[in-house]
Structure 1
Amino acid sequence: MMKHIWIVLALVLSPVSVGAQSVVEVDTTGVDVELVDTLVEDTVADYSLYVTQYGLETCDWVEFCENPRYAIVTKNGKKGIYDLIQERHVTEIEYRNLGYSRTEEYDDSTTMTLFYAKQGVRIGILGVESSNNSVFALWADDSDELYSLEECTTIDSAMTMTAVDLLGRCIVEQQLDNAQIVVMDAKTGHLKTWVALDADMEKKYAGELLVHSCSASLTIPFRNGRPPKNKAMDATSPFVMAAGYNSLALDGKILIPTLKADSVEIDETIPSYLIATLKETLKVDRKASPEMGWLVEGINCWGNTATDDIYAEDDVELVTPIGKQIQFVGVFPIEVPCYTICVVANKKSVDITPAAFADVVNPLMKWLLGKTS
């Protein structure tokens, strides 16, 4: 079995031809090799016996491959591999994208059919061995879905540690599933910190910096209209949302950090008359919004909060919420803007409001202002 893992590894390290589509190159940095059904003995005749089976007629779409044995099936927006000869699903229908690559025959008479795949925030190669439909997978981070801070030279390590401490305690106390903090320098548009944490605080590992991770109930001043509500994969990340609000401190200029050294790019410029309106609209009024006033106590800022429902990925009609997402964004102090922060968190099953950020937002804002005094 290990032999075939290295076969797939060798194949994925080179460009993968995907039918008539463009060549896909997989970045194997930090790649983790995973065996599907590793608990099943080699003597099992068909690994697909351990995969959930649906009647082919229940699938929404069937795409036939150059290898006539296999097809790619689609159900509720997700894809899987189907064996047309044995009339069984080879994989769960759980991939957001699948494509046939090619079929390879090896000296030991083994035949491996290769597919490129996208699942969650990963991109990789699936190999199906024809003798028993065993599936091997090789994964890497999908650069279209994840940001990387490795080349960003503007990150403040002390600020990052403070954000980790505040956000970590908030996750534990509020029983959040995950949360993120973004801090930008209001004067330059530079990214100062971006922390993403999951609920498993014992391991203390950072969650992925998702390109798409916010729903869109917050007013985004630099976009005409909103992304589709509650469609997380089409919405705006905390990173982009912070950059949009930061335009209030830059006379309407929206500076997007490239995350390469200290460079930024001008996304667009908001007209001055609109900036004036937004500043008036987004100025925190403690009497009109006591909750917001509590979050930014003692600090004059432009900002907003929001709460959105979270839905399961396969709930395409947005019928049954499974949790809540809370959001805060603020530019402060109004007198001489220094920082923009955006905080986002998700919690399943239980209602929650932005008040849960009270022990994160205000202490972080005051700590940041202390650095500039």
Structure 2
Amino acid sequence: MNTKKYIRTTLLTIVLSLLAHLSFAQKAVVADSIDAEEAFGKKQVPQVPLEQCEHIDTCSIAKFAIVTKDGKQGIYDLEKHENVTEIDFDVADLFRRYVSEEGIEVFYFYVERGIERGTIGVVGENNQTVSVWMDNPEYVAKLDECTTIDSAIAQKCHDVLSEGLKSLDGTYGQVAVLDAQTGRLKAWIALEKDGEDYVEGKLLKQACSPRVLTLVGITPRLADINGSLKDKMDLCGGVYNIGDSISIRDHNWRSGGYGVMTCRQALTHKSNVAMFKILLVNRGDDAFCIWKKITSDEKQTNAMELAAVFNSLYQKNIITFPTLQADSVTEATIDRIKPLGRKYLQEVLIGLNKGDGIQASYAPKKVELAGIYGNYQGKDIENGEHKLAEMSFVGLFPAKKPRYALALFLNRPNEPIHDSKDLANGIVNNLVEWLTKHVQ
């Protein structure tokens, strides 16, 4: 028998079968790389004795186990007493046994490593492997090559986020800090609940509260319609009827809502009626469709991206993003906000946190903050009920000449209810006040 030909045929069979069974991961599979024992050769896998492993989890098929060492996982054959793969995965899990028409028995494992995910097929007879890897669309970044991270800021973010998650019974949290002048990343931390503890998590895209993005997106439009923050508008007691039994409501409509206010007062109280009226004058018949889209559609972003966009919209006509490679950044021109519109946005974001602004009672006392809180209710996939809550904040400080841009998300069960004040006192103010002192 031609051994090399047999190996080649076996591995090609696995590759084809592997690609056929990857639909568990995503609807359309685009493999970034396929490793068939490095072009049909046999890899030499470092062998680690079981007694050196921290955990040994037997799979549903007892032939294999998932072994853990130094926080990494690998596949181990309990019958042959050998490591099938290196112990270098973040996640490994057996999900399928398959027997081909030729009688080849293959075991498939789902694996994750860094920002990639993949599937490994293991031939039962000889533990030859084939792996198919692709980018994981949920994982957005890794920081191995970023040289602008400030270790002190990163550690403080880790500690404060961990304590905040504990106090709010969070399941996942993410915080990012940028240098507001250069746009470079100073810290980006993600933590997730693991039993009673919080461990390092993946930097994921997350559902973001539309309340954060709506005010930021609509306020500059006041300049487009030649309006002024001093102009007065009737907020209709918190309910604005637009026909066909459809109405726009403020958060306090049940208690009578707001009456006549200046645009500044209305926006610094996060009035939906005020924002919709501005949009109505700006976009006419298209206003309601735009409103529905920006307030109802789930927005997916991450803390670094939100901080970068917010920082750029607040300060200049260029959006600056860290590339996460060394200290480089990319820039893109913003041409849709007039200078007067940016001035209005600045005044409103500062006004939210001072005077009679709706966030003033829990704003930090020793630094002027330009920022906004939001909340978002996620839906349970199976029955559509509200099960999860997302709490978020994005802002800059000091407001007049920003030094830092800060953004964070926190996911938690929807009950018991927590509001923005809890997020401010539990995480945001701690970081804002510490970072203000940290400025060199």
TM-score normalised according to structure 2 size: 0.55
> Structure 2 matches for 1:160-175, cutoff 5 A?
160-175=154-169
Inter-CA distance 362–124: structure 2 relative to 1 (3 Å threshold): same
Trace 1:222-241 onto structure 2 (pairs within 5 A).
234-241=299-306
Q: Once superposed, what is the RMSD of the aligned Cα atoms?
A: 4.4
Which residue of the partner structure matches residue 330 of structure 2? 265
Name the % identity: 24
Match of 1:123 among 103, 106, 117: 117
Q: Structure 1 residues 213, 148: closer, same or farther in 2, change over 3 A?
A: farther
Residues 181-190 or 250-259, more deviating = 250-259
Compare 158-167 and 197-206 and name the one that shifted more: 197-206
**Contact 1:295 1:361 (C-alpha < 8 Å) held by counterparts:** no
Question: 1:259 is paired with a residue of what secondary structure?
Answer: coil
Q: Are 1:305 and 2:373 an aligned pair?
A: yes
Structure 1 CA distance for aligned equivalents of residues 110 and 164 of structure 2: 39
Deviation at 1:238, TM superposition (A): 1.7
Assess, with a 3 A threshold, how the Cα gap between structure 1 residues 347 and 292 changes in structure 2: closer, same or farther: farther
The structure-2 alpha-carbon separation of the partners of 1:205 and 1:114, relative to structure 1 and needing over 3 Å to count, comes to closer
Give the equivalent residue in structure 2 for 1:191.
Answer: 185
How far 1:323 sits from its partner (Å)? 2.1
CA contact (8 A) 1:125 1:139 kept: yes
* CA contact 1:15–1:23 (8 Å) conserved in 2: no
Partners of 1:292 and 1:240 in 2: how far apart?
A: 26
CA 1:295–1:124 in structure 2 vs 1: closer, same or farther (change >3 Å)? same
The whole-number CA distance in structure 1 between the counterparts of 2:149 and 2:404 is 13
| Aligned-partner Cα distance in 1 for 2:294–2:382 | 16
AA at the equivalent of 1:345:
L
Q: What is the Cα deviation at residue 240 of structure 1?
A: 1.3
> 1:362 — aligned with what?
429
Structure 2 distance, partners of 1:219, 1:188, is 23
For 1:296, give the aligned amino acid: P
Match of 1:294 among 362, 365, 381: 362
> 1 or 2, which has the higher helix percentage?
2
Quote the Cα distance in structure 1 between the aligned partners of 2:30 and 2:358. 54
CA contact (8 A) 1:252 1:275 kept: no
Q: Are the aligned partners of 1:123 and 1:142 in contact in 2 as well (CA < 8 Å)?
A: yes
Counterpart-to-counterpart distance in 1, 2:104 and 2:324: 44
**Deviation per CA, 1:39-70, whole angstroms, max 9, x where unpaired?**
3457xxxxxxxxxxxxxxxxxxxxxxxxxxxx
Match of 2:347 among 277, 280, 291: 280
Q: CA deviation at 1:171?
A: 1.2
1:148 match: secondary structure:
coil
Q: What is the aligned length?
A: 289
What is the CA–CA distance in structure 2 between the aligned matches of 1:162 and 1:368, rounded to whole Å?
A: 9
Letter in structure 2 aligned against 1:360: I
- More moved, 303-312 vs 210-219: 210-219
Matched-pair contact (CA < 8 Å) for 2:367–2:436? no
Letter aligned with residue 199 of structure 2: Y
What runs of 5+ residues in structure 1 fail to find an aligned partner? 1-5, 29-34, 43-89, 92-102, 131-135
Matches of 2:319 and 2:190, distance apart in 1: 23
Question: What is the alpha-carbon distance in structure 2 between the residues aligned to residue 148 and residue 337 of structure 1?
Answer: 26
Larger Rg: 2
Indicate if the aligned counterparts of 1:331 and 1:341 stay in contact, CA closer than 8 A: yes
Alignment of 1:1-373 (within 5 A): 24-26=31-33, 38-40=59-61, 109-110=103-104, 112=106, 123-125=117-119, 142=136, 145-200=139-194, 204-219=198-213, 221=216, 234-248=299-313, 250-269=315-334, 270-283=337-350, 284-289=352-357, 291-314=359-382, 319-350=384-415, 351-357=417-423, 358-372=425-439
Whole-Å separation in 1 of the counterparts to 2:436 and 2:169:
28
- For 1:27 and 1:155, the matched residues in 2 are separated by 33
Q: Note closer, same or farther for the CA distance 1:115–1:370 as it changes in structure 2 (3 Å cut).
A: closer
State the 1:186 CA deviation.
0.5
CA distance in 2, matches of 1:331, 1:39: 51
Gaps of 5+ in 2: 1-9, 36-55, 64-94, 125-129, 222-289
Match of 2:92 in 1: none
In 2: Cα distance, 1:156 partner to 1:27 partner: 37
Contact 1:171 1:179 in 2 (8 A): yes
139 and 368 in structure 1: CA distance in 2 versus 1, 3 angstrom threshold = same
C-alpha separation in 2, matches of 1:342 and 1:188: 16
Q: Which amino acid aligns with 1:252?
A: N
CA contact (8 A) 1:16 1:24 kept: no
- 2 CA distance for matches of 1:115 and 1:201? 24
Say whether the 8 Å CA contact 2:30–2:134 is kept in structure 1.
Answer: no
User: Which residue identity lines up with residue 355 of structure 1 in the other structure?
Assistant: K
Structure 1 pair 363–23 and aligned structure 2 pair: CA distance change class (3 A): closer
**Preserved contact between residue 176 and residue 189 of structure 2 (Cα < 8 Å):** yes
Compared CA separation, residues 210 and 261, structure 1 to 2 (3 A): same
CA distance in 1, matches of 2:151, 2:314: 24
1:330–1:340 Cα contact (<8 Å) kept: yes
- Tell whether the 8 Å contact from 1:126 to 1:137 is kept in structure 2 after alignment: yes
1:229–1:321 CA distance, 2 compared to 1 (3 A):
farther
